[in-house]
Amino acid sequence: MYPSTFEYYRPSSVSEAIQLLSQNPDAKLLAGGHSLIPAMKLRLSSPTALIDITRIPGLSGIRDAGDRVVIGATTTYDEVMRSELIQRTLPILPEAIDVIGDLQVRNLGTIGGSLAHADPAADLPAVMLALGAEFKAIGPNGERTIPVDQFFVDLFTTALQPNEILTEIAIPKPAGRTGMAYEKFANPASGYAVVGAAAVVTLGNDGRVSAARVAVTGAGPYAARRTETEQALVGQAPTTEVIKQASQRASEGMTFNSDVFASDEYRAHLTRVFVGRAIAKAAQRAQG
Amino acid sequence: MQITVKVNGVAHTHDVEPRMLLVHFLRDVLNLTGTHIGCDTSQCGACTVLMNGKAVKSCTVFAVQADGAEITTIEGLARDGQLHPVQEGFWEMHGLQCGYCTPGMIMTAVDLLQRIPNPTEEQIRHYLEGNLCRCTGYHNIVRAVQYAAEKMRA
């Protein structure tokens, strides 16, 4: 058997899961397992216990909460992209999920698992930053809300405490004339994002950009907003020239990853190009 | 830990170590060796089975996670000696050479055709992205799925 031995727990409530986390400091939460199990098979990760949270009632599912859409943490990619509510209100999610992994991965991988794992090349972190999501986490001292802008703090590191569980992702429904797009340059072998760019653009009645959120993943150690680019868009009509100028600023103030496939210089270039494409597509969709 | 898994319509109860992968449970405990292991890294899709109707890589699921689930393997597709339309498609359109990737390809194609009964060539290639064939191109595999789609719609 490939992985080393571990205890397997299957709690039936969040509080039971938190108790197990406190009792087993080397435990890992198991949801879809599609980042964790491959790492365990290679023994890159050898947790002493797995706490399977997929059968906890209420942790999975998608609901309409008025001005927000709330997605349970153990909802699979496949369930998210097939949700009529998501397709109608947050079409960037199906667009991004469609280019994650492959069908088998999307059938089991969960939205909360991906976000809590915070792989620097995962797609959804950039999408959540662009959407302005809020994360609900429950720990021994109760629950708290973490805004997405404070969630991704470093490589594979989030604002979650070791004994906290991410339970819900709440996403505001976009206002008025809003368009959104995800553009990805995928590694041809792994399918992971070398660079992925997400843009959510809202237009005012005058046709100018009234709000913009732009974020990238894959480029640096963790997914990040590109605020200089956002500021260069707001108040402007989204012309080709304006988008070009704004996307030129997308690589400012960022540290880029460098590997055998793409140097830091190349990733900076890809960031500018794919941010530009995502904004152009989002603006076009906002115009209807 | 004791688990009960319904495989190809038959319930099986066994004691397994938590670290046992579903693919090893199918192959080594139940002797269903039609499900293949092609890689150690969750990439090739040769081990694909249906878990509660959805294609999953059985090398990336612990058997304990499948407790209470319904699994369909390649052995469970034919009915009364009649090949499943996807199996027939691979036969008719020469969709295999060595056959190693074939069980996984077929199970993924079954999931695809449940979702999209009339897929385009582009959709077939997109949905089969998690299944690798190293013999040749994917051309005849795509044709096999198209054959099955047509037959299942008829």
Question: Among partner residues B1, B40, B48, which is closest to A104 by beta-carbon distance?
Answer: B48
| Average pLDDT score over residue span A233-259 | 97
Taking each helix axis as running N to C, give the angle between helix B85-92 and helix B102-115, from 0 to 180 degrees, rounded to the nearest 10: 120
Q: Which domain holds residue A28?
A: 7-52
Q: Where are the domains of chain B?
A: 2-76, 85-153
pLDDT at position A260 over 80: yes
Give residue A189's pLDDT.
87
Tokens at A10, concatenated? 């299957």
Tell me if chain A has a CB within 8 Å of the CB of B153: no
Give residue A34's pLDDT.
96
Final residue belonging to a domain, choices A172, A198, A227: A172
Which chain A residues are closer than 8 Å to B37 by Cβ? none
- Name the more confident of B40 and A87: A87
When divided into structural domains, chain A yields a total of: 3
Which chain B residues are closer than 8 Å to A30 by Cβ? 65
Interface probe with A: pick from B57, B116, B123, B145, most Cβ of A within 10 Å: B57
CA angle A84, A150, A121 (to 5 degrees): 65
Closest residue on chain B to A46 (Cα)? B19
Give residue B136's pLDDT.
76
Grouping H, G, I as helix, E, B as strand and the rest as coil, residue B145 is helix
* B42:A37 CB<8 A: yes
| Average pLDDT score over residue span A226-230 | 98
What average pLDDT does the structure give for chain A?
97
pTM of the full predicted structure?
A: 0.96
* B129:A102 CB<8 A: yes
Residue A153 sits in the same domain as residue A237: no
Interface probe with B: pick from A104, A107, A192, most Cβ of B within 10 Å: A104
Closest residue on chain B to A52 (Cα)? B65
* A8:B108 CB<8 A: no
| Average pLDDT score over residue span A238-263 | 96
- Split at pLDDT 50, 70, 90, the class of B137 is confident
Q: Mark which residues 93-122 of B lie under 8 Å from A by CB.
A: 108, 111-112
Give residue A1's pLDDT.
63
Which chain B residues are closer than 8 Å to A104 by Cβ? 45, 48, 55-57, 60, 108, 130
In CATH terms, the fold of domain B2-76 is Ubiquitin-like (UB roll) (3.10.20)
Q: Is residue A2 part of a domain?
A: no
Tokens at A230, concatenated? 């956002």
Taking each helix axis as running N to C, give the angle between helix B139-153 and helix B85-92, from 0 to 180 degrees, rounded to the nearest 10: 140
For residues B86 and B144, is the Cβ–Cβ distance under 8 A? yes
Q: Is residue A250 part of a domain?
A: yes
Span B85-153: which CATH code?
A: 1.10.150.120
% of chain A beyond a pLDDT of 90: 97
Q: Residue B133: CA atoms inside 13 Å, Cβ hemisphere, count?
A: 21
Measured in angstroms, the CA of A8 and the nearest CA of chain B are apart by: 6
Q: For the CA atoms of chain A, what is the radius of gyration?
A: 19
CATH number reported for the structural domain that contains residue A117 in this entry: 3.30.465.10
pLDDT at position A2 over 90: no
d(CA A130, CA A124) in angstroms, rounded, equals 10
